[in-house]
């Protein structure tokens, strides 16, 4: 009955792990969940008040331009000048129902069957499935753990062939939290320009960097690289707005307009009230966002050394996003597991701690732990892990 495209598609592993944890908790089990990459804060009041005002005034009742409210695009234009250091036209912006849809629209807009997308490993769970949905071919570029999982231009050159259309770069990365330096990005950009490969820059965690680390977007390096880069970002992570579902694609007009055509047929427009909320976030949300960033930083700095004391768990300190991605090969061996999914399942069963198995991110020897939750929960989670390893 079903089409092949869904038969070969996998459900989002992060969402599935979170749903399983929730279901067990609903049954009355004592479950701690470090599964989802979702800030535990509620949306700052300056943002939700603007949304309420949009509802009360009646403005939120109607469709908007399908590519997004002009006032929101203006706010994005200002944001790009402030944070990326370059100007863009309104026609270079598409507002979408979450950054996830912006990514999907990009793949659907640029890939012909068999076109290849270079995806550094480990990767966020949705990229591969979305590329396949667009009939593209994911090609993995191995991020070596010894090099903080970062890739380099030599690796890209080895994989290059005329079917390579896109290089995907998620910086800072979900799940590793690694962050590329300006010099590293310059080398990748030079390669992409030389080989005329499009760059998909998923910058959604760009504001979430810690301990004086500096985020640089590959798109900000030069007008040349900008001309072949689509930046994906959004309000979900920075402003604690995951439920509002607003994302942005910013890039060359030809690509953005093709993506806009697609989303006009799929969603008409992103929810109007959420667009008004996003305007308030971009204009007035910085103070609140900075407070949350500092909270994530404190959590990272507290939890990271504790995690490294858990027998068999080993991680480098991430610089951004809100995930730890420890190597658990040794821990799995000690507990007699060869499959990481069975290992995380056992942790959940034995001590009520939900993590995401690394295989969904292309890493069979790692687990992902989100630290976008309060410090008490995080400390308790480490205790449970220690108990588990000592059982
Ligand atoms: N990219 C990455 C790397 C993510 O982790 C997420 C989180 N869901 C997204 C894109 C999509 O974000 P959203 O759809 O909530 O805007
Ligand atoms: N990006 C978040 C995560 O990785 C949200 C879940 C999802 O969209 O897959 O946990």
User: What is the CB neighbour count within 10 angstroms for residue 249?
Assistant: 28
User: What pLDDT is attached to residue 7?
Assistant: 86
According to CATH, the topology of domain 4-43+287-389 is 3.90.1150
Residue having the nearest C-alpha atom to atom 4 of ligand 2: 37
Distance, CA of 172 to CA of 366 (rounded, Å): 18
pLDDT tens across 77-94, in order? Answer: 999 999 999 999 999 999
What percentage of residues in the chain have a pLDDT greater than 90? 97
Give the nearest ligand 1 atom to 102 CA: 14
Q: Residue of the nearest CA to atom 5 in ligand 2?
A: 37
pTM for the predicted model, two decimal places: 0.97
Cβ(270)–Cβ(246) below 8 Å: yes
Name the nearest CA neighbour of 313 among 363, 377, 366: 366
**Which residues sit with their C-beta closer than 6 Å to ligand 2?**
12, 14-15, 36-38, 100, 124-126, 174
Fold (topology level) of 45-285:
3.40.640
Write the pLDDT tens digit of every residue in 228-278: 999 999 999 999 999 999 999 999 999 999 999 999 999 999 999 999 999
d(CA 188, CA 168): 11
Counting ligand 2 atoms within 8 A of each CB, the residue from 9, 13, 15, 321 with the most, and so the one to mutate, is 15
Spatial contact of 67 and 264, defined as CB atoms under 8 Å apart: yes
CB of 362 within 6 A of ligand 1: the answer is no
Contact predicate 145/94, CB 8 Å = no
In short, whether 104's Cβ falls inside 6 Å of ligand 1 is no
Condensed to tens digits (0 to 9), the pLDDT of residues 30-63 reads: 999 999 999 999 999 999 999 999 999 999 999 9
CATH 3.40.640.10 segments of the chain: 45-285
- How many CB atoms sit inside 10 A of residue 4's CB? 7
Q: CA 125, CA 138: separation in Å to the nearest integer?
A: 12
- Which part of the chain is CATH 3.90.1150.10? 4-43+287-389
Is the CB of residue 270 below 6 angstroms from any atom belonging to ligand 1? Answer: no
Please report the atom of ligand 2 found closest to the CA of residue 124: 4
13 Cα to the center of ligand 2, angstroms: 9
Helix, strand, coil percent content, the chain, rounded in steps of 5: 50, 15, 35
Cα separations in angstroms, 101 against 63, 126, 128, 205, 259? 18, 11, 14, 16, 10
């Amino acid at each position: 009955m079903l089409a092949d495209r869904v038969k070969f598609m996998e459900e989002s592993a992060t969402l599935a792990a979170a749903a399983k944890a929730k279901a067990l908790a609903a049954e009355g089990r004592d479950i701690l969940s470090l599964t989802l990459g979702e800030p535990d804060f509620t949306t700052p009041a300056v943002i939700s008040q603007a949304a309420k005002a949009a509802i009360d005034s009646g403005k939120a009742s109607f469709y908007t331009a399908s590519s997004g409210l002009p006032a929101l695009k203006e706010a994005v234009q200002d944001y790009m000048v402030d944070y990326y250091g370059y100007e863009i036209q309104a026609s270079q912006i598409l507002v979408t129902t979450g950054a996830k849809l912006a990514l999907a629209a990009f793949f659907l807009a640029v890939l012909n069957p068999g076109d290849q997308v270079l995806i550094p490993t480990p990767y966020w769970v949705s990229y591969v499935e979305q590329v396949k949905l667009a009939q593209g071919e994911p090609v993995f570029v191995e991020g070596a753990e010894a090099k903080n999982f970062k890739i380099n231009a030599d690796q890209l050159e080895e994989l290059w062939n005329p079917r390579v259309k896109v290089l995907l770069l998620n910086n800072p990365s979900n799940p590793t939290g690694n962050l590329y330096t300006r010099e590293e990005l310059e080398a990748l950009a030079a390669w992409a320009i030389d080989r005329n490969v499009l760059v998909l820059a998923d910058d959604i965690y760009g504001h979430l960097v810690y301990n004086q680390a500096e985020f640089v977007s590959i798109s900000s390096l030069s007008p040349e690289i900008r001309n072949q880069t689509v930046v994906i970002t959004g309000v979900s992570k920075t402003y604690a707005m995951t439920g509002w579902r607003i994302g942005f694609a910013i890039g060359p007009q030809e690509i953005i307009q093709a993506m806009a055509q697609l989303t006009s047929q799929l969603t008409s427009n992103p929810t109007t009230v959420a667009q008004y909320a996003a305007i308030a976030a971009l204009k007035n949300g910085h103070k609140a966002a900075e407070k949350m960033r500092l909270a994530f930083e404190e959590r990272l700095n507290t939890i990271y050394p504790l995690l490294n004391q858990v027998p068999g768990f080993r991680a480098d300190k991430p610089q951004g996003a809100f995930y730890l991605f420890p190597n658990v090969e040794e821990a799995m061996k000690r507990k007699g597991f060869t499959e990481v999914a069975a290992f995380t399942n056992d942790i959940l069963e034995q001590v009520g701690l939900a993590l995401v198995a690394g295989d969904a991110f292309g890493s069979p020897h790692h687990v992902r732990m989100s630290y976008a939750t309060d410090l008490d929960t995080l400390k308790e989670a480490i205790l449970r892990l220690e108990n588990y390893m000592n059982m």
